Each structure stands twice: as C-alpha cells, then as structure tokens.
Amino acid sequence: MTALGRRWLTAASGLAAVAALLLVALAAFARADSGPSVPAADSADVGFAQDMAIHHQQAVEMSFLVRDRTDDEEVRLLAYDIINTQANQRGMMLGWLRSWDAPVASGGAPMGWMAEMSEGGHGAHEAPDGALMPGMATDAQLDELRAASGRDAEVLFLELMTVHHRAGVEMAEAGAELASTDEIRDLAAGMAAAQESEIGLMTDLLTARGAAPPPAD
C-alpha cells in the first residue's frame, strides 16, 4: 500500500472515530433533561463551542469552493469529508449553546478562553490581519481561492486548510483539557485526532503536486 493510501485509511479511521463521538455526544444531548450542570457563559465549554463553530463554518466554505473548482477526486473527497464532518459538528455545538442559554458568539476576543493555556495569554494567539481568529483565511485569500481553478485551486486550498487545521487542533486540544462537560471534552479530543490525521494527508497531497505545506509558526 502506498503512503498516500495509508494516509487515506488513517483519515478514514479518524473520521469514523469522530462519527462515533458524534453519536455519544448526541446521546448525551438527548439526556440533557436529567439535570446536568450548565456551563457558565464565560466557561471554556461555551467559548470553545462559540469559536469552533465559527472556525468550522469557514472550513466548510473553503471546502465547497475547492469542490467546485477542481475535478481531482482526492481533493474533492477530502473536501466532502470536511463539509460533512464539520457541518455536523457545528450544528451540535450550536445546539448545545442554545440548550445552555448561551449566545452563539462571545462578543469578546476570539480564543480568550484559552488564555490560561499559555504564559503569554491571548496575545500568543493573535490572528493575522483580516482574519477573524488564528488559522482562518483572510477575505483576500478566500477571493484568491474563488478565482483559482485546477491545480492552483487544489494547492491553495490544501495550504489554507493546513494552517486552518493547525489552529483547529490547538483549539481542540485546549477544549479537551479545559472544558468541564463530557460533551465538549469528548468532541474536542475527537476533532484534534481527526484534524491531525488530515494534516498528514494534506502534506502528502501537496507533495504529489510539487508543493510543500506552509511553515509552522
């Protein structure tokens, strides 16, 4: 089996794990009337759900863009998996926020709930100019993706999504560590594992196209 084939199997396993976590989380949501504690508005649980829902929304948008701009089956399959998985996860997080009577947007600094994870506080997670939060593409980058096609669209998508996933993994690992609810801890851990696997897959896809992943910060 080729390295790329192994990556696909790993990614598929990761997605299957996430699907299992989704079922567990949905079951937990269905048991919400049994009286579990509701996280506070300034909790890591609420902050994670608010920020990751926004992060996921852009990942889905970029995946739809590349799906319509290439005929490459490998990239289109990856885009489809991201659309499917992250749209479902986003719906779950928004559902939990509603059940907690929490707003869908924090109104504060993005990823501020992660401040205790680093000595530098939130300053260590500054977003580039024009992006809502770390890892997210700017409007100019999205416009560039909209204007691209074929291999150019594939490479740009894979580069942007690699950066997007790196920040997503960091946020998910923080959510798994800081959250107080099983729903968020379990979902966040599954996200981190699946997106790490997809980063490896995207590295292989970039290499196959004569490109390299963007350097890590």
Confidence band (pLDDT; 50, 70, 90) for 110? Answer: confident
Those residues with Cβ within 8 angstroms of residue 190's Cβ, 6 or more apart along the chain or in another chain: 17, 18, 20, 21
Among residues of the chain, what percentage have pLDDT more than 70? 76
- 103 domain-assigned: yes
Write out pLDDT tens, residues 4-35: 554 554 455 455 545 545 544 554 555 444 44
- 112 domain-assigned: yes
What angle, rounded to 10 degrees, do the helices at 3-30 and 73-99 form?
20
Question: Per-residue DSSP letters for 88-115?
Answer: HHHHHHHHHHHHTT--SS-SS-TTGGGG
CB count in 10 Å sphere of residue 183? 24
Write out pLDDT tens, residues 166-215: 999 999 999 999 999 999 999 999 999 999 999 999 999 999 999 999 99
Write out pLDDT tens, residues 138-178: 999 999 999 999 999 999 999 999 999 999 999 999 999 99
71 CB-contact burial (10 Å; exposed 0-12 / middle 13-18 / buried 19+):
exposed
d(CA 160, CA 136): 8
**Given the structure tokens 């196959």, which residue do they identify?**
208
d(CA 73, CA 208): 14
pTM of the model: 0.81
User: What is the structure's pLDDT at 108?
Assistant: 79
- 193 domain-assigned: yes
CA 207 and chain centroid, separation: 22
* DSSP 8-state class, residue 133: S
- 37 domain-assigned: no
The answer to whether 158 and 212 are in contact (CB under 8 A) is: no
Distances (CA, A) of 189 to 18, 192, 194: 9, 5, 9
pLDDT(114) > 70: yes
- 36 domain-assigned: no
**What is the total count of domains within the chain?**
1
Write out pLDDT tens, residues 66-107: 999 999 999 999 999 999 999 999 999 999 999 999 999 887
d(CA 53, CA 103): 12
Q: Which domain, by its residues, includes 17?
A: 3-28+43-208
- CATH number, domain containing residue 24: 1.20.1260.10
